[in-house]
Amino acid sequence: MNLKVGLLGGGSWGTTVASLTARNCPTTLWARSQATVDDINNNRRNEKYLPGAILPKTLKAANTIEETVKDADVIIMGIPAQHFRSVLQKARPFIRPWVPIVSLSKGLEKGTKMRMTQIIEEEMPGHPAGVLTGPNLAKEISKGQAAAGVIAMVDDTIATKLQGVFSTGLFRVYTNDDVVGCELGGALKNIIAIATGMGDGANAGDNTKAAVITRGLAELTRLGVAMGGKPLTFAGLAGMGDLVATCSSSTSRNRTVGFQLGKGRKLDEIIKEMKEVAEGVKTTEVVIELAKEYGVEMPIATEVYKVLYEGNTVQDAFRGLIRQEVGAESEPG
């Protein structure tokens, strides 16, 4: 393809996506760390975030945001939710008009409670905004294992064109016009992954895990639909698919946070040891606010919030869930 890609963010997922697009289009990646830039350019590696992975020769790294985006026909934002706006603002003067901007982030901005495509629309009016999401564990894809994702945009013509930017032989990309549902599925499942990890860390068993994942899917679907997402989206790759992968994998950052909490460790200690951001930690705060705003009951998210921010133990959380009144399966609880 003749399109040029500029990707902002040199973490594991940003680098993995850049390695995919570099197989189809000339791709430039910007990372904050000069050591990461040098490692990509000199060694075809990003050992800090993707140890052992060999990156394509067609992927190059840049020292500046300007160099990365100034000639790009597609901008990809591999930036965590709480830093997304500030990096986009820095890039804004150098991005050409009408260039599509695609988010890889699976979080919500604190304070504004905005999705990343809403931030793009606010900061970069006129630029088509979309999201690449789904059950996409970076380390598996970087090893060449098969996976599927979703590119969600309102404009199906642009989404279809971008399929060719991201798709490879082992990475299958579908389109979806439900941007709201796809973004919310990616953000909300991280909270359920923390809950699942808590259960695993506390040796709660597979029956409990299955119950948390299933009831968690119902919970995130309720809020997602209340906020404008389509029910079918939450049964697809951006909803159930992403939820199952994130709740099941030992490489999931959010599940890892929950697992360590289940072992009795403190949140501050866990976060300090992590190389990358577990989006679900801060997203939980936003989601509790949104649940109140939309009048949606989210018992699992509420118990996760109490463990993260109110000093409750994992045992307190499970006791809280057990005390929930049991009604029909279609009801909260």
Instruction: Tell me the sheet residues that pair with 102.
Output: 76, 130
Give, in degrees to the nearest 5, the angle at Cα 26 between 160 and 117: 45
Helices 81-91/280-294 angle, 10° precision? 100
From 60, 106, 189, 282, the catalytic residue: 189
**Rounded Cα–Cα distance for residues 59 and 41 (Å):** 8
**What is the distance, to the nearest Å, from the Cα of residue 215 to the centroid of all Cα atoms in its chain?**
20
Q: Strand, coil or helix: what is 282?
A: helix
**Rounded Cα–Cα distance for residues 288 and 96 (Å):** 37
Q: Is 189 a catalytic residue?
A: yes
Burial annotation 138-169 (CB, 10 A radius, 16+ → b, else e): bbbbbeeeebbbbbbbeeeebbebbeebbbbe
**Rounded Cα–Cα distance for residues 119 and 257 (Å):** 27
Residues identified as active-site: 189
